[in-house]
Amino acid sequence: MKNVIEVKRLVKKYKNFVLGPIDVNIPSGCIIGLIGENGAGKTTFIKALLNIIKVDVGNVKIFGKDYLKEEDKIKEDIGVVLDNMFFSSNLKVKEVNSIMKGVYKTWDEDLFFNYIDGFSLPTNKKIKTLSEGMKKKLEIATALSHHPKLLILDEPTSKLDPVVRSEILDIFMEFVSDENHSIIFSTHITSDLEYIADKIIFINNGEVIMDKYRDEILDSYGILKCDLDEFENIDKEDIISYKKNRYGYNILIENKDKLSKKYKKYILDKISLDELMFLIIKGVK
């Protein structure tokens, strides 16, 4: 499987925060989920990929080309949804089509208005009158309507109700179904990623601390639960991190199948991405 994005030794330094060095490869035909708490570096990483911010060190290749040097040749094939809308709030929804026709050679007017109709967006209303959820749907419609090969999405399903979120996720899954399209998807709604992501990249304090396939994470990691007086019976080499509560301990472990045989009398639960993030970031090491 070829890589749609290759990032090598990427570093961006701010006064009180450093992103990187980051080395990741993103395979074609996959949905990549970016997770991490607020301020971890997810949005900074996305902006660095898109050359919105200039990096201090590193190289980004998209479709095998140096994006930092050949952006104009590559951006036609990239659809983007950022956390803040980039359209003027005084534009009407239908006027977005007129503007984007002049931006992208591959802009598809019929496809755009199909999405607008499907999302029940009013074409004659100004963007500033739309709800936050409707603005997000407009961004997604715009990102998809020039037939990109790669979508880079920062919180694309935030502010959407569960029904619309489900519809959007189905659109994303259909987008990558031919294996020639890819998505990078940053979100705090990790249940979305449990549903559609192929791979998870976990960023914490500006560093990639996990880069694994979703099924590998959910199949291998687990939460071992024990009473307060049983904690000393757990081998320390089996503990990644733990959180003590009123009744006992929740212990993050890896290699769930092996440890389920070792600790037969204890409860060993499946883990969610939310729980994984919490125990890695907030748990005692």
pLDDT tens digits in sequence order for the chain, 285 residues long: 688 899 999 999 998 999 989 999 998 899 999 999 988 999 999 999 988 889 999 989 998 888 777 777 788 899 999 876 667 778 888 899 999 988 888 999 999 999 999 999 998 888 888 888 888 899 999 999 999 999 999 988 887 888 888 888 999 999 998 878 999 999 988 989 998 999 999 999 999 999 999 999 999 999 999 888 888 888 899 999 999 988 889 999 999 989 988 888 888 899 999 999 999 999 888
The residue from 168, 194, 217 where one domain ends is 217
Angle at Cα 138 formed by Cα 193 and Cα 41, nearest 5°?
Answer: 45
Q: Are residues 253 and 155 in the same domain?
A: no
Task: Identify the helix (H) or strand (E) that includes residue 79.
Answer: strand 78-81
Residue labelled with tokens 């094939």: 77
CA distance 173 to 151: 12
Q: What is the dihedral angle through the alpha carbons of 150, 152, 157, 163, rounded to the nearest 10 degrees?
A: 0
Q: Are residues 186 and 252 in the same domain?
A: no
Q: Are residues 51 and 14 in the same domain?
A: yes
Q: Are residues 59 and 149 in the same domain?
A: yes
Q: How many domains does the chain have?
A: 2
Q: Are residues 35 and 116 in the same domain?
A: yes
Q: Are residues 226 and 206 in the same domain?
A: no
The residue from 198, 217, 236 where one domain ends is 217
Burial track 120-154 (b if 16+ CB lie within 10 A, e otherwise): ebeeeeebeebeebbbbbbbbbbbbbbebbbbbbb
The residue from 217, 232, 260 where one domain ends is 217
**Residue 90 near residue 128, CB atoms below 8 Å:** yes
| 3-class secondary-structure state, position 190 | helix
Supply the range of the domain harboring residue 67: 3-217
Backbone phi, then psi, for 44, in 5-degree steps? Answer: -60, -40
Q: Are residues 142 and 158 in the same domain?
A: yes
Q: Are residues 271 and 136 in the same domain?
A: no
Per-residue pLDDT at 134: 87
CA distance 244 to 88: 49
Q: Are residues 108 and 23 in the same domain?
A: yes
Q: Are residues 237 and 100 in the same domain?
A: no
Task: Identify the helix (H) or strand (E) that includes residue 208.
Answer: strand 207-213
**What is the CATH number for 190?**
3.40.50.300
Q: Are residues 202 and 238 in the same domain?
A: no
Per-residue pLDDT at 6: 93
C-alpha pair distances (Å), 116 with each of 51, 91, 153: 29, 15, 19
Per-residue pLDDT at 85: 63
Please tell me the pTM assigned to this model. Answer: 0.89
Q: Are residues 160 and 247 in the same domain?
A: no
